[in-house]
Chain A
């Protein structure tokens, strides 16, 4: 099997290298064929691996591939841990990546950087595979940063656009803040566990539990919180979420692949993978849950006031990532992964549908300049509808099952603040339905607000764009119904996730109340989230189609609230003022005051003046040429040597006798 796993990981890397180095010589068709072939190989093999592990129940594979370094007794290797969680992730990542690769043919066809783009997304796929397949923290960190790198390169892909370049830098730096915590977390973990290997760490977890650091703080809690800071960066949790909306500056295919379906879920994956240690710290879990809830609700609210089609979807992604994080907090890791998976399908679908609209309108992204597109773009319309219904949790669709399970899991949780978080996630359903359908109605229904030229040219884009939409629409409908039972209740993920059921009973309680996917569907009509969804949908309809002037009136009436929302709670301003400008001011201050004035003026030039004074005494030989300085150096050396050798109390050479 080792070769199979290796092939999965390396196929996209090889594609990326070939296309990256020789893309301009190979030409477009050959380049994209190579890249797509690489990812197709991975996808097929990922299916095989999924069948092998998840369906056939094969043994967990855990082996090192090569030793990266061996320092004393500490081994750091590149290695693979393939269990059911990894298998699910491999399949999701490779499948979405394949769809995005195909979609890119149509989306980027007019772009100069066509082959480079393929190289990057293949490289990303490789990095993401390395992240999910890792069996140790060193490689996890490698994958973690490598996906961040490709994200940086792709956000700034249109490098002539100042805003894109700005956004890419911001994304990298904010992620680095997360990685800062993440790396310290790994370092603390190494100190107390003495190994970087997952399985060894998990077996030692109980032994380390109870040890303290910084006086009397639990080591496990510190490790978990530091690791979670990393997750907050990658998975864009408040307050490290600020980079994700900006990442929409990148081409849409990568918004779907990286900034919706895969990379941003790395944090969710990581915490699930680390469940054996997170389970030991209620403090950490509570923090995870609360941060997730804050992100879920407050980022959702921002989705309501956005008018850029991609940004609405981006805020929706933030909010959904918040939901997944909440699930992690209440120890419902499998539910988080379940939502991660359904979300990957329907959110990639929504982004690609948005991209389809953007292409059709010649890169117009303002939803106020769209409208009534349903007749002109029927495939995009239907698939976007499916994606939207899945997102808002319409009964039967994929998102319905996963989101409902998260809400129920919170309901059963007994962590402190769980009741507040429950209200937040329930109310979040209303918000989700509201912003999602608002956008949907404005774009596809109502009156057309397109300009004359666009109006005449709008049509459904090429097959390479519509086919991925259709293919993604299918799992967006059925995947929840099909997989809820095995994934959550009959043990698909049992060999990857550990829950201390005696303390954290949410999932056990879910299991107790669960009868069948169909039963859940029947029951849905009497649940609060359902009516929240209906309410949000109605509200969206009212404000965007029925009484379009009401929105404006409300905005004027509550202009303060509106201001807060439109300024995105001021996070960007705060970051600009405190961090960006603050560090520049600090740097300027340190440089001018300390380096240039204190050290250079007083100390160095002070001594230089002294030298010059001495130099003026011996003016005849002081000509200012460098040779002479060099010469003096040697002379000086000789003098010092002579002095030590023949003069002083204990001369080395006794002159005379």
Chain B
């Protein structure tokens, strides 16, 4: 499997193009081809897991060939524990989305499937690029299928949502491009290996940090650049919401891991407090905003923002816990332990994976209801359990996972980040932990209004329970949520060495030693 990664990137893209060629008139064939491609890609991606060496810090499955040699731009790809997990999340989610959209999408079904396949390849490209320009191309290109998915298969207000989505993300990433080019001028390469080692003054780092920050914070999304997300979700078709929440948001988190910390370590340390405060605002403030949402998709979208706050909190808390001395040793700043740093970093990563499962599941749950009654309003429902008992079982499980119940994946990341961030500052953990109350409040209040209680109207009483296809999709995610909740150790094992490496990069100053 010399070029496994390339295969994972290009197979879905080629598959997607073939599906386009098959065309909407032969939509059944298109569906079967799409599902076959997505299964093959998922199965192949499992080889990343099997063949992964957890003892090395270096990149694995590396491929490196010249691409645009006059600018020293290379087709350089490879993965570590962080990107591998996100790639697996991508291949799994895409497979599920294609199954979930099977008969739901009747309008231009082939185009729909193709968009998801192509997007899958591009996103895997994002997670495996080791050349900044390659990364940037995949990063921007992956926006296009999403834009089309929202714009073509979206709801009433899809154009507004798509423009808002476009504006936010495009503006964010333009600055990233500028800073990449600046660093190219300095270092003569776009290779991440070079950029990671590139000495930069604090001023330079600061500019670059904020340029990166804008690109990544929009994607995560962080307060106050989050307002595109609820609109995009509300307008997006179910599959679009699933990929958006499960994977696209993770691109932001991934950016912090892959770019901000290694390339601008000193600026990251300098501005960590800003990121932390914004994360805490996201967790608390957005939690209250989620509480009053009347539209289920908006509620879950806001909940996503709040949960993603744990990712950025977990990552940046490390700068308040440890620092590196001039002797290259890592020292505690105020009594916090090295373990707490890893709790934060690895908790952030687990939170991303877990949020991928849970948010995907919750959007699928809303999709199931929407297909039947064409309403996302909480008030259109009530007593759904009476007509859809099996479905309610799943919905409640995912809701509880969203509320961070131990035994589900939702607990693991939050637990780790709270334990870790407390060692940075008690109040970080204090505010973060409010999600225990607020998160449970908005999630379970929604459950109460939608699923419990007496049947509120005749529409609800005619609902039919989930069919085999829906059952399958939700069951896969349910198993994932429970397995990670009960036994997260394999994930930790896979990412730990990469985190050790990352921590060292994040703590190693790029500034000339003080005299």
Contact = CB atoms under 8 A, between A and B. Distances in A.
A191 B343 contact: no
Interface in B305-359: 335-340, 342-343, 346
Interface string B410-447: 01100110110011001001100110111011001100
Contacts of B293: 591
Grouping DSSP codes into helix (H, G, I), strand (E, B) and loop, the B interface class, with mixed when no group exceeds half, is helix
A608 B160 CA distance: 10
Interface stretch (A169-177, A355-363, A477-485): A169-177
Given A173-B444, A191-B335, A637-B140, A145 B454 contact: no
22 contacts: A67-B489, A68-B486, A69-B412, A69-B488, A69-B489, A70-B493, A71-B346, A72-B339, A138-B415, A145-B405, A173-B440, A584-B291, A594-B285, A600-B227, A608-B164, A629-B147, A633-B140, A633-B144, A633-B170, A636-B174, A645-B71, A652-B71
A590 B285 contact: yes
B185 A652 contact: yes
Nearest to B442: A587
Q: Looking at chain B, what size class is its interface with the partner chain?
A: 35 or more
Interface in B135-183: 140, 143-144, 147-148, 151-152, 159, 162-164, 166-168, 170-171, 174, 177-178, 181
Interface string B479-515: 0000000111100110010000000000000000000
A183 interface: yes
B210 to A, nearest CB: 17
A629 B178 contact: no
Contacts of A633: 140, 143-144, 166, 170
B354 to A, nearest CB: 13
Interface in B376-400: 383, 385-386, 400
Given A74-B343, A624-B159, A645-B181, 5 more contacts: A146-B407, A173-B444, A177-B437, A180-B433, A591-B288
Contact of B177 (A66, A69, A640): A640
B177 A641 contact: yes
Contacts of A214: 426
Contacts of A176: 436-437, 440
Interface stretch (A158-166, A199-207, A322-330, A524-532): A158-166
B151 A607 contact: no
A595 B289 contact: yes
A18 to B, nearest CB: 15
B187 interface: no
Contacts of B224: 599, 603
Contacts of A650: 185
Interface in A573-603: 583-584, 586-588, 590-591, 594-596, 599-600, 603
Contact of B292 (A146, A166, A186, A584): A584
Interface string A51-94: 00000000000000011111111100000000000000000000
B290 interface: yes
Nearest to A625: B151
Nearest to A177: B437
Contacts of B422: 184, 187-188, 190-191
Contacts of A6: none
Nearest to B228: A604
Given A142-B406, A652-B71, A590 B289 contact: yes
B448 interface: yes
A191 B383 contact: no
Top 4 nearest A-B pairs by Cβ distance? Answer: A626-B151, A587-B288, A587-B292, A187-B422
By CB atoms of chain A within 10 A, which of B143, B441, B445 has the most? B441
B37 to A, nearest CB: 23
Contacts of A630: 144, 147-148
Contacts of B496: 71-72
A152 B386 CA distance: 18
Given A145-B405, A633-B166, A71 B343 contact: yes
Nearest to A190: B419
Contacts of A146: 405-407
Contact of B162 (A180, A183, A626): A626
Contacts of B164: 604, 608
A156 interface: yes
Nearest to B150: A626
B452 interface: yes
A583 B441 contact: yes
A106 interface: no
A51 to B, nearest CB: 32
Nearest to B454: A160
A224 B167 CA distance: 51
B406 A145 contact: yes
A626 B164 CA distance: 12
A418 B323 CA distance: 48
B147 A626 contact: yes
A505 interface: no
B386 A160 contact: yes
B419 A159 contact: no
B166 A629 contact: yes
Contact of A169 (B178, B436, B448, B492): B448
A392 B143 CA distance: 71
By CB atoms of chain A within 10 A, which of B166, B184, B436, B496 has the most? B436
Given A587-B291, A626-B151, A183 B346 contact: no
B426 A188 contact: yes
A177 B439 CA distance: 12
Interface string B448-481: 1001111000000000000000000000000000
A179 interface: yes
Nearest to A141: B406
Given A187-B419, A624-B159, A626-B148, A179 B436 contact: yes
Interface in A279-318: none
Interface string A354-373: 00000000000000000000
A14 interface: no
A599 B339 contact: no
A642 to B, nearest CB: 11
A539 to B, nearest CB: 41
A30 interface: no
Contacts of B285: 590, 594
A594 B292 CA distance: 14
Interface string B214-237: 000000000010011000000000
Contact of A180 (B170, B177, B436, B489): B436
B466 to A, nearest CB: 15
Given A191-B340, A604-B164, A630-B144, A68 B489 contact: yes
Contact of A587 (B289, B386, B411): B289
A538 interface: no
A67 B488 CA distance: 9
A149 interface: yes
Interface string A85-129: 000000000000000000000000000000000000000000000
Contact of B453 (A159, A186, A190, A588): A159
A268 B33 CA distance: 60
A165 B144 contact: no
A331 to B, nearest CB: 28
Contacts of B416: 71
Contacts of B433: 180, 183-184, 187
A591 B289 contact: yes
Interface string A597-625: 00110011001100100000000000010
B2 to A, nearest CB: 32
A461 interface: no
B382 to A, nearest CB: 10
By CB atoms of chain A within 10 A, which of B168, B335, B440 has the most? B440
Contacts of B418: 183-184, 187
B489 A191 contact: no
Contacts of B162: 626, 629
A192 B339 CA distance: 12
Contacts of B486: 68
Nearest to B434: A180
Contact of B291 (A583, A629, A644): A583
